[in-house]
């Protein structure tokens, strides 16, 4: 398999790939994101992961031959021939593996023979210095759930691949380690199986069970955990084995691809090539992004480009080198965000070849208030390249019947200015209120610039920490955004995104025959802002703690099929009274939610009930959109005015008395010192005074101005 370096000029590689995506817009599909919650056994999780990949598992004849040709830098035909003749485990005359029982009574009878066989191959070809093999059928490897949401009360899931190949090596001598070096005194941990150090899992079955459909769900769970826990996987190999057969699987952001069944006895040379290929000592060849690596000081780094398009290396600031946030799915964008030096964020994604790159839209959004700002970007390899596809293979065999056409995805790395902390990391009610208000203003600024966001979610709204009084929230993530002046007919499209927050109209397009309903517009995104507001104010008891009895509709919004969420959200707008927020948020948020819902209710239901199939262009909605944005901003400004008049708010933002600022001297005496935190509060005080107007051009109303306009339904225009 060719090696890829994302910092190299991608044009030379892309020129050979003619695979194209036939997905006109991103499809609404099932997802395994956040599905550990509520699942008590890994057996229950397997069909969920398999369902995510349904229709995107592609059978590619002789796939293993393209990936692992008869000769490469590590072996030749003659080398493999010599190994088979010399190996005590292969009977050359009978053309079969003598170490593998022909008629095993149970699956476990095959574990040790295959472990020894794989180990023999690794030793013969000198792979054993960086790769080792281990039985892991009883290892109970812990799953990792999403790290950027509060922990749930569900038991931890675990799974056990039958056999695993473990990695331990530097990527290159002058760079660093692909796998985290063991801490002093814990060197033995490098040899213990973990989803953090597995290169490739092997699943063993009796031949009578080799073709069961449950097998795919099982190996999909392993692949998913490798993506989640290793963070820098571009693709994952798995191998399904029996006493007679083997089959190679590759999982990537386009789904899964699998080879023909290999007769391990008659085609032993091909079987050895597969073992060598999925255990390669070259980390990039087994799916790792080698631009992310560990140093000897147990710090993780990432290579990319700086603002001047020069190669640079940033240190990753996350705990234990982990990403700031990431998606848990195998398929799709695979978003991974890293906090790095200089207050920057690096965002990795795999976007559909047919989509406008996020970097183009971020370039247009440069300088817009309340919108995330780009520093640089890199475009890397595609999933077609990783699979060694050089043309679209329209396999018409019954094995691919009914499958969706391969969706080629390109790797993109974007460096961004850090817009703040996640909305779910709030410390005070006003942080939530300010951040949402400013994110809506940012959405309006994008709309005015000709861009529709289309993926409003709790993950895409940040609480700004710039210290600027006039910006307390940032709207990020334009990878699902579109230009509102594009001529493509949007009526027949539906999209993915964070479906918990999708509008009624967007969800309805998943129904057969409803694909040509209203195109996604700014009102769908405003509706999503309401769901985000409820998600925070009605689910959380206080910072970092979920309520024990949140409104039941949240579970329906998360569940599949999608008509459950659709029906629940229709009822949300028809219902007379909503559950109250927690005491932490209080009546101000109850009123805000109700007024926001009242503003949207008629618009949402009219759109839902409409059976029109022709629609005005998005550009023609600009005038009415201005009125609607101003109405929503006025609703939030009214809540802000009420919040800033609240005694609890005044107590939280009041400067502490000088006595609280005393710090001990070395000799035990004290002197008064005003901390940087207090100075930040002092700078922020003018904003908290109702009489202070917002800066020109920031939009909305504030203070007395908001009070004066109370009930008029419109705020000032940005």
pLDDT of 598-610, one tens digit each? Answer: 999 999 999 888 8
Q: How many domains does the chain have?
A: 2
Q: Is residue 575 part of a domain?
A: yes
CA distance 190 to 96: 34
Backbone angles phi, psi at 171, to 5 degrees: -70, -55
Q: Which helix (H) or strand (E) holds 350?
A: strand 344-352
Q: Tell me which of 163 and 297 has the higher pLDDT.
A: 163
DSSP string across 488-532: S--TT----S-GGG--HHHHHTTSTT-TTSPPP-HHHHHHHHHHH
Show which of 287, 302, 334 is a domain's final residue.
287
Q: Tell me which of 424 and 25 has the higher pLDDT.
A: 424
Q: Residue 534, SS3? A: helix
Question: In 10 A of CB 186, how many CB atoms?
Answer: 10
Q: Is residue 233 part of a domain?
A: yes
CA distance 226 to 240: 17
Claim to verify: residue 283 and residue 424 sit in the same structural domain: no
CA distances from 505 to 456, 500, 532, 569, 605 (A): 14, 13, 17, 10, 9
pLDDT value at 651 more than 70: yes
Residues in the chain: 718
CA distance 509 to 490: 12
Q: Is residue 16 part of a domain?
A: no
Q: Given the structure tokens 């079969």, which residue do they identify?
A: 96
Structure letter (DSSP) for residue 379? E
Show which of 234, 255, 287 is a domain's final residue.
287
Q: Is residue 540 part of a domain?
A: yes
Q: Is residue 297 part of a domain?
A: no
pLDDT of 352-377, one tens digit each? Answer: 988 889 999 999 999 999 999 999 99
Q: Across-strand partners of 664?
A: 670
Strand ranges in 136-207 using DSSP code E only, listed in sequence order: 141-142, 158-159, 163-167, 170-172, 176-177, 198-204
Based on the number of CB atoms within 10 Å of its own CB, is 647 exposed (0-12), middle (13-18) or buried (19 or more)? Answer: exposed
Q: Is residue 124 part of a domain?
A: yes
pLDDT value at 456 more than 70: yes
Q: Is the dihedral of CA 502, 508, 511, 513 positive or negative?
A: negative
pLDDT of 179-213, one tens digit each? Answer: 988 766 665 666 789 999 999 999 999 999 999 98
Q: Are 3 and 285 within 8 A, CB to CB? A: yes
Q: Across-strand partners of 249?
A: 238, 258
Q: Is residue 506 part of a domain?
A: yes
Q: Are 515 and 489 within 8 A, CB to CB? A: no
pLDDT of 26-83, one tens digit each? Answer: 334 455 554 444 556 777 778 888 888 888 888 988 889 999 998 888 899 999 999 9
Q: Is residue 499 part of a domain?
A: yes
What pLDDT, on a 0 to 100 scale, did the predictor assign at position 46? 81
What is the domain-level CATH number for residue 609? Answer: 1.10.510.10
Show which of 287, 315, 346 is a domain's final residue.
287
Q: Are 409 and 256 within 8 A, CB to CB? A: no
Q: Are 355 and 61 within 8 A, CB to CB? A: no
Q: Across-strand partners of 542?
A: 545
What pLDDT, on a 0 to 100 scale, did the predictor assign at position 39? 55
Peptide bond into 561 cis (omega under 30): yes
What's the pTM?
0.78
What pLDDT, on a 0 to 100 scale, did the predictor assign at position 153? 36
pLDDT value at 512 more than 50: yes
Q: Residue 713, SS3? A: coil
Structure letter (DSSP) for residue 615? -
Mean predicted lDDT score pLDDT of the chain: 82
Q: Across-strand partners of 309?
A: none
Host domain of residue 574: 420-645+690-718
What pLDDT, on a 0 to 100 scale, did the predictor assign at position 619? 79
Q: Across-strand partners of 463?
A: 421, 473
What is the percent of the chain with per-residue pLDDT over 90, rounded to a whole number? 60
What pLDDT, on a 0 to 100 scale, did the predictor assign at position 390? 56
Q: Which helix (H) or strand (E) holds 249?
A: strand 245-252
Q: Tell me which of 176 and 679 has the higher pLDDT.
A: 176
What is the domain-level CATH number for residue 85? Answer: 3.90.1570.30
Q: Per-residue pLDDT averaged across 317-345, rounded? A: 89
């Amino acid at each position: 398999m060719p090696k890829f370096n994302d910092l190299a000029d991608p044009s030379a590689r892309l020129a050979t790939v003619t695979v194209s995506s036939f997905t006109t817009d991103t499809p609404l599909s099932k997802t395994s994101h956040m599905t550990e919650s509520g699942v008590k056994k890994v057996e229950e999780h397997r069909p969920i992961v398999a369902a995510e990949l349904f229709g995107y598992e592609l059978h590619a004849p002789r796939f293993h031959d393209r990936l692992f040709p008869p000769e490469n830098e590590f072996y030749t035909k003659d080398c493999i021939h010599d190994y088979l003749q010399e190996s005590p485990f292969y009977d050359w005359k009978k053309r079969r593996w003598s170490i593998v029982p022909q008629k095993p009574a149970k699956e476990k009878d095959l574990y040790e023979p295959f472990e020894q066989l794989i180990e023999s191959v690794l030793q013969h070809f000198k792979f054993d210095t960086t790769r080792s093999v281990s039985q892991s059928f009883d290892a109970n490897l812990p799953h990792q759930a999403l790290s950027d949401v509060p922990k749930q009360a569900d038991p931890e899931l675990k799974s056990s691949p039958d056999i695993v190949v473990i990695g331990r090596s530097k990527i290159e001598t002058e760079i660093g380690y692909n796998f985290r070096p063991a801490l002093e005194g814990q060197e033995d941990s490098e040899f213990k199986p973990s989803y953090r150090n597995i290169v490739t899992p092997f699943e063993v079955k009796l031949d009578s069970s080799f073709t069961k459909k449950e097998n795919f769900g099982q190996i999909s769970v392993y692949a998913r955990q490798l993506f989640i826990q290793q963070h820098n996987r571009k693709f994952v190999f798995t191998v399904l084995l029996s006493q007679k057969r083997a089959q190679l699987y590759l999982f990537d952001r386009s789904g899964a691809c699998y080879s023909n069944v290999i007769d391990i006895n008659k085609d032993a040379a091909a079987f050895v090539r597969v073992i060598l290929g999925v255990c390669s000592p070259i980390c990039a060849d087994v799916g790792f992004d080698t631009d992310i690596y560990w140093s000897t000081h147990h710090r993780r780094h990432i290579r990319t480009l700086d603002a001047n398009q020069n190669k640079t290396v940033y240190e990753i600031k996350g705990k234990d080198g982990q990403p700031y946030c990431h998606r848990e799915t195998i398929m799709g964008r695979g978003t991974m965000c890293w906090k790095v030096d200089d207050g920057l964020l690096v965002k990795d994604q795999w976007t559909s070849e047919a989509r406008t790159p996020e970097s183009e839209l971020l370039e247009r959004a440069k300088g817009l208030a309340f919108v995330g700002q780009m520093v640089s970007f890199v475009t890397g390899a595609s999933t077609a390249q990783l699979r060694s596809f050089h043309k679209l293979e329209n396999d018409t065999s019954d094995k691919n019947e009914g499958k969706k056409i391969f969706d080629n995805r390109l790797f993109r790395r974007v460096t961004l200015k850090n817009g703040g902390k996640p909305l779910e990391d709030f410390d005070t009610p006003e942080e939530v209120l300010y951040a949402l208000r400013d994110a809506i203003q940012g959405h309006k600024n994008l709309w005015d610039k000709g861009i529709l966001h289309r993926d409003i979610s709790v993950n895409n709204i940040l609480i700004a920490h710039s210290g600027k009084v006039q910006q307390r929230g940032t709207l990020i993530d334009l990878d699902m955004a579109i230009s509102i002046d594009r001529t493509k007919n949007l009526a027949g499209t539906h999209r993915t995104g964070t479906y918990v927050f999708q509008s009624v109209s967007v969800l309805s397009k998943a129904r057969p025959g409803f694909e040509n309903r209203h195109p996604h517009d700014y009102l769908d995104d405003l509706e999503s802002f309401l769901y985000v507001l409820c998600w925070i104010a009605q689910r959380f008891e206080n910072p970092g703690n979920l309520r024990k009895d949140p409104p039941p509709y949240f579970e329906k919004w998360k569940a599949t099929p999608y008509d459950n969420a659709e029906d629940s959200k229709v009822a949300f707008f028809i219902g007379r009274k909503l559950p109250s927020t927690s005491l932490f948020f209080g009546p101000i948020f109850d009123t805000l939610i109700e007024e926001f819902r009242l503003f949207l209710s008629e618009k949402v239901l009219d759109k839902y009930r409409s059976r029109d199939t022709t629609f005005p262009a998005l550009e023609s909605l600009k005038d009415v959109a201005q009125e609607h944005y101003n109405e929503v901003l006025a609703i939030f400004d009214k809540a802000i005015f009420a919040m800033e008049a609240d005694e609890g708010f005044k107590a939280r933002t009041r400067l502490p008395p000088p006595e609280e600022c005393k710090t001990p001297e070395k000799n035990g005496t004290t002197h008064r010192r005003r901390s940087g935190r207090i100075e930040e509060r002092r700078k922020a005080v003018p904003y908290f005074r109702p009489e202070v107007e917002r800066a020109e051009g920031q939009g909305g109303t504030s203070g007395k101005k908001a009070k004066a306009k109370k009930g008029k339904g419109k705020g000032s225009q940005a």
